Structure formats: C-alpha cells, structure tokens
Chains A and B, each alone.
Chain A
C-alpha cells in the first residue's frame, strides 16, 4: 500500500517527444492510412465489377434492339390489280386487307427480286409489318413502294459480326443491300420461336401484373403485421416465437416458396397454372417477411416521445399509430419494401415451380391468363440453341434492369417525399 503510493508519487513526467512515442504515433498514422486505402480499394473493386457488368450487358444487349433489314420493292398496283387506298380505311379496312393476301404479295415480290430461294433470306413474319404499314398509310397501295423487311436470323447475327461461315458468305453477297433498323417488334411482341420475331412486351406485362399483385398483398399485410407486433401485441413467449418464425421465413430459399405455391394455390385452391395471380401470391409470401422485418425496425425507430406526446393529449392507441407512428415509419417501411420487391422482381425459381416457364406467345390480358415474367423469359431465352437469342437475352436483361431502376427510383422518390426530419 505504502510502496504503491510512493511509486505514483515518484512517477516521471511523460515525455511526449520520446522515440517510443514518435514510433507509436507513426504506427497509428500508418494503420489509419492502410485502413483508408483498403476501403478505397474495396469501393473501386465493386465499382469496376458493376461497370464491367454494365458495359458487357449494354454492349451485347443494344444489338438486340436493332435488326438487319433487306429492301423489297412491292409494285402494289400490279400485284393487287388496282386496289384503291380508301378500301383500307374505316371499319372494313382490316377485313379488306385480309382478303388482299398481303403475305402472298410480299412473297411474290421477294421472289421477283431475290429469286426462288429468296424467301429464305427473310424472317417469316415480315409481311405483318407490311400489313400494318398499309393500315397506317393506305396510300401506298396505289404506288410502287420499297419496304424494309427483317432478314433471316442467321443473316442478322452474321451481319452484326457474330455468325457462321455460311451466313458470312451470304452477307458478303448481299452486303450493299443490308441495312440496320430499330427493332420495334422487340418492344411490342411476345415470345416466339423465330428470334427475329420475339419481343419482350408479354414478359414485361406479366412482370407488371405479378408485381402489382405482390405489392397489393405483401405491403398491407406486412405493414399491418409490423404495426400490430410493435404497437399492440404483448411481449411474451408467443410473440417471440412469431418473431423468430418471421425472421426464419425471410431466409427460406425461394424455390421452397415455389413448392408451397404449387401445393397450396394450384393443388388446394385450384387456381390456374402459369397465371400472374399465382405468381404474385407466391412472391407475396416471399416478400412479406422482408417488409415485416423492415417495418418493425422502422416502427421501433420512431422516438417514444412522439407516442407519449400524442397519448398525453388524449389520442387513442390507433390515433397514435395512424397519425404519428406510421407516417414517421413510412420511409423506413418503403426502403424495406423496395428491397423486397426488387428481390421478387428478379425471382425465377419459385415461378418455375408454378408453371410460369411455359411458352407464352400472347401478352396476358388479366391476372388469371397464362403469363411469364422477365427473369423467366431471360432464363428461357438463354437456354435456346439459336444464336439469335443471345443478344435478345442481353436485351431482355437491359429491359429488366431498366424496369428495376424505374421501380426503385419511384420508391426512393416516394420515400424522400414522406421523410420528415425532427
């Protein structure tokens, strides 16, 4: 006791400039620099991964939005025997067009210019664009017109510089005639067997409907669950069990939700296979735990003083929740919803289980119509043998990413609008 007192009494003044001290300071600065450099390196690495992904995807994908075209001169007056423009306007226009036999006219014109085998240079559905051109502008049936029709897929791929030797040869003979045009069909068509005729619209519409159903079910159920669990439910063993279950549910692999959807919605409730309704319900099951968890955290983060303030002037529990807690928690809830919905949008596995991998050639017109969604469409196209599908796959990925970014941007905008500072 005594000695320690003298020890502290004798303690030498600290030398802040000693070598030891300097070395310690240098070491501290060095470790600080190291940490900063590591952090920076991590950011650069992840940014370059992202840049690489985007460059590759956009590089491949943008070609998917263009098509190689060949000019065909159609001498309408000679071919139709003098049809007049006003036949194709008004209510009977479409019927008259059908009896005109555009397909035969186009095929005959191709034969005249490109010979017997000429038909094989063209993609099968090209005549449909001629039909729509006539409906848009009937005057062309009274003239000699040149239309640009999509070339056959192999030629298309070869012209874009990625084709087989045979196709390359064909391209070199046609080179002066081949042109590139924007592939409007890609944005308005659905799945097809010919890569020149495929489009993303069917899958995009399917995704939109599915996401709408997912949001309409998962958001209210998730938010109300979160509010009830945080604001009303007593804290006991039973609610602890529910909490653990919800946390586990969020970690369950998505394919298991697919099996659940198959077993419950298709087999027990007998809902139609491949329908956006079933897809939306299945994805809602998957998204809900994410919304509940983020919602609970957001509700927990609302300062208790706000609840006390409202209770203190005689607000009922429900008024406290809906006038104060929910508005303040909404930005956080929306953040969780964005994450959950983004995950649902990109989900493929559970939808395969409920039959959304079918070949769907027409866009769905309702929630019980057979539909497919963007990621499943990408998966299906990536599986195709035909080379023309490679760039279509990348193009579909671009559409998916743009859809995702739009959805997130909207949600972030909403979140910032609701954000209140205190």
Chain B
C-alpha cells in the first residue's frame, strides 16, 4: 500500500479512492511550494485564516469553494500579485523550493517569472501573437538570438496546443483570436518564461464547453512539467483535472486531500454539503 502511494502512477489508480492517504504526502513528486499558517488581511478584514497547503510537482492542485471564500486571494499570494493592492497584508510563510517568497531579499519580478499566472479573463496584450509570447523571454533576456526566440515561441505555442492553429499568422493580433485560443495564448505566454509553477485563476470561466475541454486537456499534458494550481468554480472540472483538491470556505481551508477522496468520501460535513450542492 505504501508503495502504491509513493509511486506517481498510484494517484489515478482506483485503489487510491479507498485508501486514507494523508492530504500532504511526500510521495507526490518533489515538493514545489509550501504555505504555512498564511493569513491575509485587506485592511482590517481578514480574508484568509491560517492556511497551510503543499504544492507538489507532479500533481495538479485544485482550489474549490463558494464565491468570496478567498481561494483566488490565496492563489494570488503565491506569486505575490497581492502586492499590487496597497491595503493587502500577508503573514505566515510561503516558500518556493524552500525559499521564503516574502523574504526581503526575494526579487518579486523574478518570482513572478518562476511562478507564472493565467487569469480568469483571457488577457493577451494588444500585440501580435508572436510578440505576446516573445515579450516575457525578451524582458528576462532568455533568448540570445532571433532564432532562439523563434524557437521559444514555437515550443511554447506547441506546448499550449496552439501552434497548429496560429503558425501561419504569428503576426496577427493576439486579440483577434477566439476566447479559447486567447486563453491558450496566455498559457503559452506563461510557459515561455519557463516557470516552475503555473497558477490558474478560473481559467475556463469565460469559455465555452469545447474551449474548456481543450484547456483541461492541456492541463493534463502540462502536468509533470510544471506544478499547476488551479482555482475553479466548477467542481466537475476540479474532479477531472486535479489530483489534489483544497476546499475553502469563508477564508479557511476546510479540507485538503486527494481529489477522488474529497469527492467521494469527504471527512468534513461542510465539504460534503458543498459538493452535493447544498450551498455555494
């Protein structure tokens, strides 16, 4: 049994559902990010209370919960996007590869390159498709020549499953693409700076079911190459794409564990109520 848990393939095996594997297990591939006792305040209001979650390399971690429960807020702490809100204050410890990301000597700019983000609404720059992807590598000096940059653009688009659709029109505006394509462009843009973690904040909420299916498929493919954290409203989506699920309610982490467990056999009453649609 222990062996099964330790191996990465075990996560999707049906045996797993019956087991009572700990939520935070060392066997899910290398540990990428840890958060310990994180509190977030907006002015006097506390938005997040004492949340501790580990993010591992080989799992997709989903944050679910009703609107306003703080899951997006928490996600935005993980690459310090909350820094842009002057009244937001974060306490506790969040680490990336063991480094405290809120340490004074942590360079926020570099952190955000290492922990990329995909937003709720597709937000390509009003530039060409090529420039959208090339922007990140350019500002971080990741390519030494035009060929290298071309190469980064191509691989990023390929990984995002967009290359076939746009390879003939790289100079067209990124905003001329459809919503689903725009979102995949944004994912490609995040991939282009070679991040370690990709945070996705409800990436499919503005998309139709077909585009959503493509993004979900893409998340499957990206798993293992990047540690992925996804916030979603859609519980089926969490069940489909993630291996670990965290349920947030009113700013607290109610339950965190193996996705199949959470959905079939939650330990907390509140999780059960939410999943069965009693509230949310």
Contact = CB atoms under 8 A, between A and B. Distances in A.
Interface in B153-177: 175
Given A312-B190, A316-B109, A305 B119 contact: yes
A305 B119 CA distance: 8
Interface in B177-199: 186, 189-190, 192-193
B214 interface: no
Interface string B99-119: 000000000011111101111
B193 A309 contact: no
Contact of B193 (A314, A316, A319, A422): A314
Contacts of B79: 312
A103 interface: no
B2 interface: no
Interface in B118-156: 118-119, 121, 123-126, 135-136, 139-140
A85 to B, nearest CB: 63
B125 A311 contact: no
A312 B114 CA distance: 10
Given A314-B113, A314-B139, A315-B109, A309 B186 contact: yes
B119 to A, nearest CB: 6
B136 A309 contact: no
A308 B192 CA distance: 17
Report, as a range, how many residues of chain A touch the other chain: 20 to 34
A314 B121 contact: no
A319 B84 contact: no
A24 interface: no
B43 interface: no
Interface centre among A303, A314, A319, A328 (most CB of B within 10 A): A314
Contacts of B119: 305, 308-309, 312
B62 to A, nearest CB: 19
Contacts of B114: 314
A119 B79 CA distance: 89
A323 interface: yes
B113 A313 contact: yes
B116 A312 contact: yes
Interface in A233-268: 234-235
A11 interface: no
B175 A422 contact: yes
B26 interface: no
A306 B110 contact: no
A316 B135 CA distance: 13
B98 interface: no
Interface in A326-377: 328
A323 B135 contact: yes
Given A314-B140, A315-B109, A316-B109, A324 B84 contact: no
A10 interface: no
Nearest to B122: A305
Contacts of A235: 86
A421 interface: yes
B213 interface: no
A326 to B, nearest CB: 13
Contacts of A133: none
B76 to A, nearest CB: 9
A310 to B, nearest CB: 7
Given A314-B139, A316-B109, A309 B81 contact: no
Given A235-B86, A314-B193, A319 B139 contact: yes
B81 A324 contact: no
A132 interface: no
B126 A311 contact: no
A308 B116 contact: no
A420 interface: yes
A313 B112 contact: yes
Contacts of B189: 309, 313
24 contacts: A307-B84, A308-B117, A308-B119, A311-B112, A312-B190, A313-B112, A313-B113, A313-B117, A313-B136, A313-B190, A313-B193, A314-B112, A314-B113, A314-B114, A314-B136, A314-B140, A314-B193, A315-B109, A315-B135, A315-B136, A316-B109, A328-B126, A421-B175, A422-B175
Interface of A: 234-235, 303, 305-316, 319, 323-324, 328, 420-422
